[in-house]
Amino acid sequence: MRSPAVRLANGRAAGFGLALGVFALDRGIKAFVAGPLDLQAVGLIKLLPFFDLRWTENYGVSYGMFTADSSETKLVLLAMTGLIACGVAVWMLREKVLGEIAALALVLGGALGNIYDRSTRGYVIDYADLHIGQWRPFLIFNLADAAITCGVLILLARSLLSREKPAEAADADNDTATETV
């Protein structure tokens, strides 16, 4: 049986592997839509009644906010997202709960995919257009965006649903347990 420290180290390694996998899959899909599909020239490919591939160049962050239209603002946005990705990586290294390591890995892998685009192209390639008729519950997005969103939702759900005892109550329980022994 492996020690908890070894399991945690293996969990962190698996988390970084998952982040690398998300990054690689995102890169592969973006290379496919930019290359063989030539979605930029085609503009739109209808796949399903509710899902299309549509070329979009996102010069900002989520929902097109903080649009970087000059080389200086592009650099600032790249640095800001890079710092956030570094913070997520450090959080992963310090995290002890495997479920949260997996969620952080999704966020990190997605962030790296979008950072790669922003650093090589100056914008992020978005292509996934989910819609019901003319109504779009989301803006056009990519796999990296979906991974970040899923990771954040998992972190929020785990945070809201976990019921940890306050430190004082846990100490009182421990005192009672040792007194009865």
**What is the value of pTM for the model shown?**
0.83
> Catalytic residue among 26, 117, 129, 145, which?
145
The per-residue pLDDT for range 80-115, each reduced to its tens digit, is 999 999 999 999 999 999 899 999 999 999 999 999
> Catalytic residue among 126, 171, 173, 175, which?
126
The per-residue pLDDT for range 109-145, each reduced to its tens digit, is 999 999 999 999 989 999 999 999 889 888 899 999 9
Cα separation of 171 and 174, whole Å?
5
Adjacent-strand bridge partners of 166:
none
Cα separation of 148 and 117, whole Å?
15
Cα separation of 21 and 167, whole Å?
38
**Strand, coil or helix: 139:** coil
**69 classed as catalytic:** no
Contact 114, 85 (CB under 8 A): no
**145 classed as catalytic:** yes
As a dihedral over the C-alpha atoms of residue 90, residue 15, residue 117, residue 139, rounded to 10 degrees, the angle is -100
Question: Which tokens hold the place of 4?
Answer: 């908890």
